[in-house]
């Protein structure tokens, strides 16, 4: 008598190994925002245009210069500003008490406007 059933034991073993591999590797595949930080030199950053600084205050309010800007208007406003500028770089100056998530959202909005060169403004350590 010939047995005509498929042996599924090796298939189950392979699927369990794949499941374990995916469970281990999935937490390592977090997507982040890559930024280009400017190289610091003793002479400072030389640009032909005035540097564009976006300020995030303690209360999570965004400012371009002295003018407040709502978070939802940031990407369209930056697109309009940087249409004519040659230097497509934004310096982000965030208060240290602002949570990391809000700074990351702000950086994502800057990237959505087509600006991929983002510098973080910090003070030198004493």
For 86-102, what is each residue's pLDDT tens digit?
A: 888 999 988 888 888 99
For residue 94, the cross-strand partners are: 56
Quick check: 2 pLDDT over 80? no
Residue 77 domain-assigned (yes or no): yes
pLDDT in tens, 34-54: 433 334 443 444 545 578 889
CATH number at residue 88: 3.30.420.270
Q: Are 121 and 92 in contact (CB under 8 A)?
A: yes
Mean pLDDT in residue range 61-70: 88
Residue 125 clears pLDDT 80, i.e. is over it: no
* Residue 112 in domain: yes
Count of helix runs (H) and strand runs (E) in the chain: 3, 5
Q: How many domains does the chain have?
A: 1
Mean pLDDT of 68-87: 90
Whether pTM exceeds 0.75: no
Domain range for 62: 52-120
């Amino acid at each position: 008598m010939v047995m005509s059933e498929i042996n599924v034991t090796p298939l189950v073993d392979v699927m369990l190994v794949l499941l374990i591999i995916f469970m281990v590797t999935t937490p390592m595949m977090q997507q982040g925002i890559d930024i280009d930080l400017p190289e610091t030199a003793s002479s400072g950053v030389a640009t032909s245009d005035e540097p564009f600084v976006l300020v995030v205050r303690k209360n999570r309010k965004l400012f371009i210069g002295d003018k407040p800007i709502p978070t939802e208007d940031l990407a369209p406003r930056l697109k309009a500003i940087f249409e004519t500028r040659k230097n497509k770089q934004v310096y982000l100056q965030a208060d240290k008490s602002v949570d990391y998530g809000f700074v990351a959202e702000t950086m994502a909005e800057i990237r959505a406007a087509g600006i991929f060169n983002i510098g973080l403004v910090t003070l030198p350590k004493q």
